[in-house]
Structure 1
């Protein structure tokens, strides 16, 4: 029987408690590239187009084959949305598993899954770039931390729009721009894009960086 106090068990428990107990349709959709198929505006638009064509066919006394085909097409978007919604119900399990694999806590993922979040607040276990030291002894005893330029170089590999935007007075935290602009026409697409971007920043930039410069936590803000 595994030791409940082991690192893996604690990470799994931490991940389990860090997100909503039950995901909404929006949260499930944000975690999948197919989530757009369940977006009400998209479903309504597709249904409306085929329904309009069906009404036009009925008004012109189109043949029964055409009417049946258009009727099926009008119902298809709703049917696809229902099937996709059922298929995406496992999103929470996948999100929790991903969070548990990270070497540091990634907090407030609920915001990303709900289409929110502009930046990641990274808290280092040691002082962040630009911190002032009282003397050389204090500087030498502090753990190594990345320069802002070095961190930006790693972030640029993820996407050019991802970079350090600032920090706070205690100089232990840095803000990283996620760099996804919301779309008014199709928010479901940008919601998923933000989720993918956050995962990429963590996996491709912060996890490798944490091996040299310990990270205490990452929080969506």
Structure 2
């Protein structure tokens, strides 16, 4: 009888090796909706706005209490960014734990954590399901997620993640992409694997 402890350890080791040994600020930020608060351009913009308001208040001879309050606000975005950055230091551990729980390997998640990746390439052990059948389940996650194609051996399908990069706030879409990938895996691919065993899922 297979040792479940050994299988769990192997899955954990596989997951640990499948992502970067050390996460950058961007990778940590992509795992949380609050990660956008650590985005340098956003922090600089918010601090700049508060600084202009602070200088304007000084020019209008605002009272000392108002000046002090506005002075604190100038540094608030930086302080918040530091607090969130510290809170997200355990992001890699959480990502590895999630990967290890999946019944099949999920490869190249580094791309998603770095704000890249447009599709999931799903390779099945045997024949792949019909695209129409799979699209019904994908639509329950999001209408923009659907099967875009496959390969000649009928064992591989490409699934569009369906998150369009925002030019105004790319940091926010980084997390949306990460969250979408997790949803697609957990809500669609894991249940699907019970009927159509999956060999590997790869971000591309």
**What TM-score, normalized by structure 2, do the two folds share?**
0.96
Partner of 2:57: 57
- Structure 2 contact 127–196 (Cα < 8 Å) conserved: no
* 2:150 aligned with 1:167: yes
Structure 1, unmatched stretches of 5+, are: 129-145
- Structure 2 contact 121–201 (Cα < 8 Å) conserved: yes
Residue 33 of structure 2 aligns to a residue whose secondary structure is coil
The 5-angstrom pairing of residues 23-34 of structure 1 reads: 23-34=23-34
Residue 121 of structure 1 aligns to a residue whose secondary structure is strand
* CA distance in structure 1 between the partners assigned to 2:145 and 2:4 by the alignment: 37
Partner of 2:124: 124
* CA distance in structure 1 between the partners assigned to 2:80 and 2:111 by the alignment: 27
- Structure 1 contact 4–10 (Cα < 8 Å) conserved: no
* CA distance in structure 2 between the partners assigned to 1:100 and 1:4 by the alignment: 13
Number of residue-to-residue matches in the alignment: 202
How far does residue 171 in structure 1 lie from its aligned partner after superposition? Answer: 2.2
Hey, which bits of structure 1, 4+ residues long, moved more than 3 A? Answer: none
Partner of 1:108: 108
**What TM-score, normalized by structure 1, do the two folds share?**
0.89
- Structure 2 contact 30–178 (Cα < 8 Å) conserved: yes
Partner of 1:70: 70
Residue 217 of structure 1 aligns to a residue whose secondary structure is strand
* CA distance in structure 1 between the partners assigned to 2:13 and 2:27 by the alignment: 20
* CA distance in structure 2 between the partners assigned to 1:190 and 1:123 by the alignment: 26
Partner of 1:202: 185
* CA distance in structure 1 between the partners assigned to 2:122 and 2:23 by the alignment: 25
* CA distance in structure 2 between the partners assigned to 1:186 and 1:5 by the alignment: 43
Structure 2, unmatched stretches of 5+, are: none
Cα shift readout 1:144-164 (whole Å, capped 9, x = no counterpart): xx2111111111111111100
* CA distance in structure 2 between the partners assigned to 1:148 and 1:53 by the alignment: 55
How far does residue 170 in structure 1 lie from its aligned partner after superposition? Answer: 2.4
* 2:195 aligned with 1:212: yes
The 5-angstrom pairing of residues 142-153 of structure 1 reads: 146-153=129-136
